A and B are shown apart, each in its own frame.
Chain A
Amino acid sequence: MTTLSTPQEKAELLEKAAVQGRSLWDDARARLMRNRAAVTSMVILGTLVLLATIGQLLWVHDYDTIYRDRVWIAPTLENWHLLGTDAQGRDMVARILVGLGVSLMVGIVATFVSLVIGVTWGATAGFIGGKVDQAMMRFVDILYSLPFIFFVIILMVTFGRNIVLIFVAIGAVEWLTMARIVRGQTIALKGMEFVEAAHAAGVSRTKIIQRHIIPNVLGPVVVYVTLMIPVVILAESFLSFLGLGVQEPLTSLGRLISAGAQDMEPAPWTLIGPAVTMMVTLFCLNFIGDGLRDAIDPKDR
């Protein structure tokens, strides 16, 4: 909170507060806007998203156009190869923009998949409680201790490198923590009076979960989602790096980094461009996530 210098200001603020009540979300937004790192990150990330969506269409080169006579050109203003070209003579700027778009999309979609599974699983377990809860969370515990990356790799090998499958595979792996968080919150909420009141008024369990539990666990979930998107982007890049992600000529940041790592001796710019893009993206997402956590859950500060 900003310090109030005069009693007059204080009075004004009190008056304002009395006139219009501030919801939890208004408060959170105000706190988030004061977090300089988070706001800067949001601006940068917004720019990156615009570049990856619209910029990709407007850029002078296509991501899959091969210029045979322009292999491994260092960054230059000539022909607008601002970040150089790769081993096949494709423009790096165009490829990075497409790769960024794919990585962001995988991040968002796979996070959504895990969000749906995790919230449903956690809310159900927490709300029903008892034996069902124990069995469901035991299942999560067991899955937690599995070497998941191995299964994802086998899965990718088994069903081919399909982009939809990447979403599903990563989403299906990352829902566990979400389920735990939601369950904890649900159990805390279940004891609250308004839930008991709904129960007493004869509202069905499904309705209570939908109308009362899920909206109220949204805060921690939003925070976790922002922190999960970078994790998912990393997971996809990890697979791409091992040669199991999206397929040529489509690309993702992980794939570009993998190719760049192989060519780093003759053409370091093929590594540096995608690597920096990825670092900046992950930085922004992590800062926004941290900022959101501080904003929504102020007791940590």
Chain B
Amino acid sequence: MSEIMLEFSDFGFQYNAQAEPTLEHINLTIRKGEKILIAGPSGCGKSTLAHCMNGLIPFSYRGTCTGSAKLCGREIRDLSLFEVAKTVGTVLQDSDGQFIGLTVAEDIAFALENDCVEGTEMHERVKEVAAQVGMDNHLFHAPNQLSGGQKQRIALAGIMVNDVQVFLFDEPLANLDPATGKAAIDLIDRLRDRTGAAVVIIEHRLEDVLYRNVDRIVLMNEGKILADLPPDELLSTNLLSQCGIREPLYLTAMRYAGVDITPEKHPSDIRSLRIDGTDCAKLRTWMHENPEKPAMDFSKVLMETHHVTFGYRPVHTVLKDINVAVKEGELLAIVGTNGAGKSTFSKVICGFETQQEGTITFDGVEDWQSLSIKERADHVGYVMQNPNQMISQNLIFDEVALGLRTRGVPEDAVRTRVENTLKVCGLWPFRSWPISALSFGQKKRVTIAAILVMRPKMIILDEPTAGQDYAHYTDIMEFLRELRENGITVVMITHDMHLMLEYADRSVVFSDGRVICDDTSAAVLTNRDVVRSANLKMTSLYELALLSGISDVKGFVQRFIDYERKECRS
């Protein structure tokens, strides 16, 4: 057995501001060279555990520790934050927020500067590490010239300069598109092979992390470790779904078809999955027994863009000849890489930006072009990604009422409309609460309610589920589906493939300012060319279908979606 890096025994932690301990009875050992995935729903304590590993607890966040937490055999509380950071390097979730320097080189050099490393040596070390993460050609780029994936690689380089022995990744995939996320997991794997360091990944997107082998999955719930098992064994249990963690889609499909999942079948990776003839037959029978539901018919066009072209500067067009029709009552996903133009598209619709060419028509509105931002907002609502970017009032009621009050609606009418909206949004029980007491997901609901109260026919949501675990994700998405039942058309800008598959009636794929595909999500995610150019990932259901000898792959995926909607969400 190799050297023990981190060792927690009967460890517990309680924040000073909290009434109950966030972590209890943690027993966990991490050795050199191991790769561990820590998974668990929001609020299970996995981020707190990460803070305990990198020294932010007890040195930055105050609270009470019980039991023992050792790094390389020494109690962490006897060290200092800086000593811990020399051994444990952390890549935070927010790859933009942790970018400290004005340029790539300065950011990588940050730890060296603080260690008083001299000029020449520092320049060489930065060059060397930048080359290891493939960023040596970007040394003097500013953060706003980099993509999310590149920023994350810089963050990684920034801790690699220290020769750390434990790499800690806090939700590394949260802000990345699927293909970039895959590349990140790949890079982490190569890093472990080369340095022999221990790697700890905290993430609830299990399937994406398991793209490269991990040694153990530590499953947390309510502040305790529920399981600490090799992936094959853990995935053969029902523990994940009990904790509200999404298991890989191909396993869900296998369970639907009644296939037993055992460690011998290597369920941790679709490429190593061993299924026998009986299993394949079960899958095929299941497909046969669950015919595809006829697609819902959305015929009435609500909003349509005709040859819309837009650029912030004349030479640099962000949108090129966009023709998209949004049908009344549908849930539409707009997908594509960062910078592909999907956010700009929504800004043009809302009137935040004005297109240079082309027109937009909206059903029942004459001359959409001439409407101001405020006038368009009566028809199309726009919800930003981070609810903190929209909330300005103390009380939920006032926040939701804001849009009506600025429009001069009489106060008694405001009251009834706000109350109705709060009921629709499931916020009625909280109506007199201060907003600061709400969870992130509830705040998101408040911002949606604040838009819905103006009775738009269509709402556009920017990354509605970013950073949410499966339970909150389901919560928000089911809510959006209910809205659709109430006749509201929902357009979502996202790169969450699960969202596309499970909820969107249709996906419009942007790439480099153009629409390259406009089809059902099942068709999009089984189309290799589209997947590649839009930085998406083939769904693992595709591979499962091939593995079990099903030729109508798209049909299989569609049936899976239909089955899920019917069985699990009604």
Whether both chains belong to one complex is answered with no
